[in-house]
A and B are shown apart, each in its own frame.
Chain A
Amino acid sequence: MKHIIYLATFLFSLFISNVDYSQCRGYSKNECLPKLEKYIHTGQLNNVKLSAGEKSEFMLTFYAGQEYKIIVCAEDVLDNIIFKIRDSKRRLLYDNLGDGSLSFSFKVASTQQLIISLKVPESDLEDLESVEGCVSAIIGFKF
């Protein structure tokens, strides 16, 4: 009986984790992907659940000569996402300053690695600190 309880606890935790991921995937696909419009998405998945004060970062190669568009989507429960782009030395190249701009089109001066950073602002309200929501960044390209 005890083993059944342990197993059930473990499986339930896995289930919750996967439901979270699945929800974010659905959100990303339905809400974010269509905004790429004429850009072909690169195929990379960048979905995560974040709460106030949390940040997610990912690094990828951007090729010279291609035009890129990054779309950031966040569920309504989250405040304005802070969306930044840095080079591999972490020098700041773009910052939306949390002003609600969640899309940025650009080219790179030459092929290089860039770090995309998404952060949910800190919240003064205790209730909001524990609220989690899906945040996605989808990258498209065209040439």
Chain B
Amino acid sequence: MYNFKLFIYLCFSFFICSCNNTVKEQDKEIDKPIESNNKENELTKKIEDIYYNVPSPMQIAVLLKRAGVAYNYELPLNPSKVNEYFDREEKAVLLGVYGADLNYSVVSRKNQETLLYFKSVNLLGEQIGLSNVFNDELKNRVTDNLDNNDSMQVIISDAFWNAESSLKEDARINISALIVAGGWIEGLYLSSELSKLTPENEKIKMLIAEQKYSITNLISLLDSYDISDYTKEILINPIKNLEPLFNKIKEEFPSNNVSSEDTEIPIIGTNIVLSYSDEILDSISFAIAQIREEIIH
């Protein structure tokens, strides 16, 4: 009986050890295009077996800037909101939200706002047990490099990278997934609100539509981890309800493929054009604003 119990414990322990979000597998596949429908099930299974990444808030902030819209002071979350009561999971989501706002201010070179959002990020980071990342040392680096935009982008990206690493090492990957979710929500919220203010800007509309790809990855990520029923109710289920709206955005494949002959750097992949209406984007905008409102109370 003693040995049996020990065996069960060992099995459980090694099961825990083997839970890693990056799937390892023995590779037996052949590199061939998928040609027939009867291979779709196999394809689906394979795609389920991979790790899904969500674009970082820094990438979204850079794309917003490239879209040519001016910084809007009213859109990011009030930095003082951090002082209200939130439970641990909500704080993780909020850290993601403020992280996106911080990236938005860094990329837009708004130093005063950068300091305010950094303060909120640092406080939340400490509160959820990330004081090894969000601490005085980081604060000093931010203060010293405030005028150096390139360095700031690297410092902030590094900080969130270290935070995610630290959470994974501490087996708190669910918290990491919630930070990612918060960042994604705020990125989409900023894009949607900026699109409302500049309806003629097609680049922002495209950026919103392109989140069609990310939402699938985000849902897969959130479904992988143990998250409370309350957070599922206020965050994950509403995100899942958003997916059918993104599914209305259709992919078209024009025959004129992009040539890479004139460029020094290779261009890879398929030429895809997303087809959507303003009504679909309005529905997404309305829904994401509701989700954001719920998570910030």
Contacts and interface: CB of A to CB of B under 8 A. Distances in A.
Interface string B254-297: 00011000010111111111100000000000000000000000
Nearest to A41: B157
Interface stretch (B1-9, B81-89, B193-201): B1-9
Interface in B33-69: 33-34, 43, 46-47, 49-56, 58-59, 62-63, 66
A46 B265 contact: no
Given A46-B22, A106-B266, A106-B267, A6 B164 contact: no
B26 A53 contact: yes
A108 B217 CA distance: 19
B134 to A, nearest CB: 15
A71 interface: no
B20 A110 contact: no
B98 interface: no
A13 B17 contact: yes
Nearest to B176: A45
A135 B274 CA distance: 35
Interface in B214-270: 214, 217, 257-258, 263, 265-270
Interface string A106-117: 111111111101
Interface centre among B5, B54, B158, B213 (most CB of A within 10 A): B213
A105 interface: yes
A38 B217 CA distance: 27
B272 A40 contact: no
Given A46-B22, A48-B20, A58-B53, A106 B168 contact: no
B25 A55 contact: yes
B184 to A, nearest CB: 11
Residue from B153, B169, B171 with most neighbouring chain A CB atoms (10 Å): B169
Residue from A62, A113, A141 with most neighbouring chain B CB atoms (10 Å): A113
A84 to B, nearest CB: 7
Q: How large is the interface on A (under 10, 10 to 19, 20 to 34, 35 or more residues)?
A: 35 or more
A113 B213 contact: yes
B273 A54 contact: no
A57 B49 contact: yes
A61 B27 contact: no
B12 A43 contact: no
Given A9-B10, A44-B56, A111 B164 contact: no
B272 A112 contact: yes
A106 B22 contact: no
Interface string A53-85: 111111111110111000000000000000011
Nearest to B163: A43
B266 A107 contact: yes
B16 interface: yes
Contacts of B258: 109-110
A40 B58 contact: yes
A48 B23 CA distance: 9
Given A53-B26, A54-B25, A141-B59, A67 B169 contact: no
A93 B161 contact: no
Nearest to B272: A110
Nearest to B211: A61
Contacts of A95: 31
Contacts of B263: 107
A53 B14 CA distance: 21
B126 interface: no
A31 B286 CA distance: 44
Contacts of A57: 23, 25, 49-51
Interface of B: 2, 5-6, 9-10, 12-14, 16-17, 20, 22-27, 31, 33-34, 43, 46-47, 49-56, 58-59, 62-63, 66, 153-154, 157-158, 160-161, 164-165, 168-171, 206, 210, 213-214, 217, 257-258, 263, 265-274
